[in-house]
Structure 1
Amino acid sequence: MGGTNVWDAEWEVNEEQARMLIGRQFPQLSSKQVKRLGWGWDNTVFLISDEYVFRFPRRKIAVGSIRMEGELLPKLEAYMTIPYPKPLFYGETSDEYPVPFLGYTYVLGDFPIGLTEERRALSAETLAKFLRRLHEFPVQTALKCGVQQDHRNLTDIASRKVKLEGFLSKVIEHFSSEESCVIEAYINRLQTDHVKAGNVLLHGDLHFKNMLVNENGIVSGIIDWGDLNVGHPACDLSVAYSFLPPYARGMFFETYGGADEETKLLARLIAVYIPVLILMQAVNDGNEVIAAEAKSNIMRALSD
């Protein structure tokens, strides 16, 4: 089924279909409750009796990612300092569903929506240690598992700036005049066209919809690894700007092991860019909670 937005589904899966597909391939799960948790750009997600999570690709572009996750995620365990979903059930293509799907361990936690700045700051070291270890994973091993290398050309700042301006034009009415001035001033100051390439394994999509926190607001889980790729560390380090308040960034970068000014410049740009995309989708869906959180991420990224 086609659509006009890049996040529109090519396949839809409801709870009844998910229950049927899971039960046929994994009979040991056939009696368990199936509940739809939600969906992102690439996958529809179901919770299985508070024990497992299944992700079903909703676009062709996600199929390769599901296969890659199934092979690579188990290899990351020795490097992980924050819980993450481990693949357990490898669903195969069938007449009922034309692409593979994957079942994982369920990671407990809540999305970090509406947290105070003080609570966000508590995760500075936790996030930095997590990314330091993830970025130490052997790149060649990742590439052999099918991970793509710099497929989004993140270091081309000039091109990304143009895209950002286009996306912002679609949602600028949702910002106050003061917020719009801050955003415009930032874009006008962004004069660098390109930065040197990086070469580390990345989560690739580290934002508030792919993070979980515990009852104290501390990051306790990292989910949705479908954008694993090899590239510039700034892609993941953007979380220092979108998630952490300015006063916690020094501790974050010190714990991570430092970052040069080019890296920080690119990290801030991505910290604005990704929430703008999330804001666009939230506005389209009429989701005011996600829209408000995306806006706060953007403005936090632009604060010093």
Structure 2
Amino acid sequence: MGATNVWDAEWEVDEEQARKLIGKRCPQLLSKPVKRLGWGWDNTVFLVGNEYVFRFPRRKMAVDSIRIEGKLLPKLEHYITIPYPKPLFYGEASDEYPAPFLGYAYMPGDFPIGLTEERRALSAKTLAKFLRRLHAFPVREALECGVRQDHRNLTDIASRKVKLQDFLKKMERHLSPEESGVIEAYLSSLQQDRVEAVNVLLHGDLHFKNMLVNQEGIVSGIIDWGDLSLGHPACDLSVAYSFLPPGARGVFFENYGEADGETKLLARLIAVYIPMLILMQAVDDGNEAIAAEAKSNMRRALSD
């Protein structure tokens, strides 16, 4: 899709460079093999031995996020009800690499790709309780750690709708007429331009590529906290639409706490918006499995 995608790296680190940087900061890990696991928009991820995962920023805008993670993630321990990666190693920027990096204990699990609707429903209570506690974290304490406040203008429905319409045109040949038609009809039905601002601590990027499940398909880990921010809870609550089937949403909101109509409206929109972005990158990468899962997330989000 071109060389100017928002997910394109501004710099990269390969396995050999990662091994040297990790070894310099953590000599006790020098003897362990280093393997690249993958990459997202902001970070390249390496497995060290079978025990640790290191994340290296690949864009300037991810540098502050890594620093905030290092400060805030340890403070969430008494709030988070699902396992998450806690920083164990911290590397500073240097002449060898222009950004700080973090190392965590490796978290076992699989990405929730291709799960049945029945298995997805098993995580309704787990996800709801996780988000209820996360969103209860003190806003002031998050601000003291440098967390950004609604830097993505989450409550602006009108501009997000315009962007989605543009994305839909770009992805037209990768979607069936039925898939495109459902999304177009949904966007046409959106009449509200904005919802009232609310600030809670957000994971900020809660989708299937940042979740792990156990052998039963139940969510067992939440990873990639690079979008920690303050903003509207709908950003995270979108998982009730993209991940959970319609029949499980009642259980989810019973355990999270009832959300008003504006919150649910925005949550559903974000549940279409984020998978559309994932689809765009998956097409660019040629990753058919991720593309198929992104499509299923959008279909689920628009199911009642």
TM-score scaled by length of structure 2: 0.98
* Alignment-derived partner of residue 303 in structure 1: 303
Q: Is the CA contact 2:168–2:180 (under 8 Å) kept in the aligned structure 1?
A: no
Question: In structure 1, the residue corresponding to 2:66 is in which secondary structure?
Answer: helix
Question: In structure 2, the residue corresponding to 1:78 is in which secondary structure?
Answer: coil
Q: Give yes or no for the alignment of 1:156 onto 2:156.
A: yes
Q: CA offsets per residue over residues 262-282 of structure 1, 9 Å max, x none? A: 000000000000000000000
Equivalent runs, 1:262-273 vs 2, <5 Å: 262-273=262-273
Equivalent runs, 1:61-210 vs 2, <5 Å: 61-210=61-210
Tell me, in whole angstroms, the C-alpha distance in 2 between the residues paired with 1:127 and 1:300: 17
Offset, 1:100: 0.6
Q: CA offsets per residue over residues 27-50 of structure 1, 9 Å max, x none? A: 001111111110000000001112
* Alignment-derived partner of residue 13 in structure 1: 13
* Alignment-derived partner of residue 31 in structure 1: 31
Offset, 1:11: 1.1
Question: In structure 1, the residue corresponding to 2:55 is in which secondary structure?
Answer: strand
Q: Is the CA contact 1:111–1:208 (under 8 Å) kept in the aligned structure 2?
A: yes
* Alignment-derived partner of residue 254 in structure 1: 254
Q: Is the CA contact 1:42–1:59 (under 8 Å) kept in the aligned structure 2?
A: yes
Q: Is the CA contact 1:3–1:9 (under 8 Å) kept in the aligned structure 2?
A: no
Q: CA offsets per residue over residues 57-116 of structure 1, 9 Å max, x none? A: 000000000000000000000001000000010101122111111111211110000000
Tell me, in whole angstroms, the C-alpha distance in 1 between the residues paired with 2:270 and 2:99: 31
* Alignment-derived partner of residue 285 in structure 1: 285
Report sequence identity in percent: 81
Offset, 1:55: 0.3
Tell me, in whole angstroms, the C-alpha distance in 1 between the residues paired with 2:205 and 2:299: 19
The AA in structure 2 aligned to 1:58 is R
Tell me, in whole angstroms, the C-alpha distance in 1 between the residues paired with 2:180 and 2:168: 10
- Stretch of structure 1 that moved more, 2-11 or 218-227: 2-11
* Alignment-derived partner of residue 225 in structure 2: 225
* CA root-mean-square deviation: 0.9
Question: In structure 1, the residue corresponding to 2:98 is in which secondary structure?
Answer: coil
Q: Is the CA contact 1:238–1:271 (under 8 Å) kept in the aligned structure 2?
A: yes
Offset, 1:3: 3.7
Tell me, in whole angstroms, the C-alpha distance in 1 between the residues paired with 2:244 and 2:180: 21
Tell me, in whole angstroms, the C-alpha distance in 2 between the residues paired with 1:84 and 1:253: 22
The AA in structure 2 aligned to 1:233 is P
In structure 2, runs of 5+ residues without a counterpart are none
Q: Is the CA contact 1:135–1:200 (under 8 Å) kept in the aligned structure 2?
A: yes
Q: CA offsets per residue over residues 184-210 of structure 1, 9 Å max, x none? A: 110110111010001100000000000
Question: In structure 2, the residue corresponding to 1:61 is in which secondary structure?
Answer: helix
Tell me, in whole angstroms, the C-alpha distance in 2 between the residues paired with 1:303 and 1:160: 20
TM-score scaled by length of structure 1: 0.98
The AA in structure 1 aligned to 2:207 is H
Offset, 1:139: 0.6
Tell me, in whole angstroms, the C-alpha distance in 2 between the residues paired with 1:281 and 1:180: 18
Q: CA offsets per residue over residues 229-251 of structure 1, 9 Å max, x none? A: 00100000000000000000000
Tell me, in whole angstroms, the C-alpha distance in 2 between the residues paired with 1:11 and 1:184: 36
- Stretch of structure 1 that moved more, 159-168 or 265-274: 159-168
Tell me, in whole angstroms, the C-alpha distance in 1 between the residues paired with 2:83 and 2:142: 19
Tell me, in whole angstroms, the C-alpha distance in 1 between the residues paired with 2:169 and 2:134: 35
The AA in structure 2 aligned to 1:278 is I
Question: In structure 2, the residue corresponding to 1:37 is in which secondary structure?
Answer: strand
The AA in structure 1 aligned to 2:25 is Q
Tell me, in whole angstroms, the C-alpha distance in 1 between the residues paired with 2:137 and 2:168: 35
Question: In structure 1, the residue corresponding to 2:178 is in which secondary structure?
Answer: helix
The AA in structure 1 aligned to 2:267 is A
Tell me, in whole angstroms, the C-alpha distance in 1 between the residues paired with 2:181 and 2:170: 16
Q: Which runs of 4+ in 1 moved over 3 A?
A: none
